[in-house]
Every structure is written in C-alpha cells, then in structure tokens.
Structure 1
Amino acid sequence: MQEFSSSWDIQATPTFFFLKDGQQIDKLVGANKPELQKKITAVLDSVK
C-alpha cells in the first residue's frame, strides 16, 4: 500500500483523484464535503 500511496503522492486520507482519459485532472485531499461536491460538479460539467 505504501508503494501505491507514494506513486500517487497520497499524503493524507481521504484523497480523491479525478481522472479523464487516464490522466489526473484534479485532486482533493481531506474530507471537505462542500469542496468535494464542487469538484465533482466541475468535472461532470467538463465532460458533458
């Protein structure tokens, strides 16, 4: 697990990665529900 965490630069949990076509387009570290909702909305809007 440590190797996986290092390869994705995970410093804390939870860490959310947003990917598009296999590439990271955004990242959120921590359990900030309003910020997570904003990022999900932004990602969904960008793929429409």
Structure 2
Amino acid sequence: MGKGDKKTKRGKIYRGTFGVRRPRIKKKVSIENKISIDNKAEAK
C-alpha cells in the first residue's frame, strides 16, 4: 500500500487520477463573475 496502489489516496496522487478516494474539487462560481456577466449582457 502506497504509491503503487491504485486504491489509496497516495496512489491516486502519484498517478494523477481521481476516484472515490480522491474526488475532484469543483470550482465555485464567484459572485464577482456573475455580476460582470450581467453587466456585459446589459451593455449589448
């Protein structure tokens, strides 16, 4: 168990993959981005 193990968190980090042990972190849309998008829509 370690770097070579596909099922451990350390193994996932080593291989650069994602799964149950190491889920992807989803990016949150910031309020600033929403405001700037609305302003661009109004400018047209």
TM-score, length basis structure 1: 0.31
Q: Which structure has more strand as a fraction of its residues?
A: 1
Determine which structure has more spread, i.e. the larger CA radius of gyration: 2
Pick 1 or 2: higher relative contact order, CA cutoff 8 A, min separation 6. Answer: 1
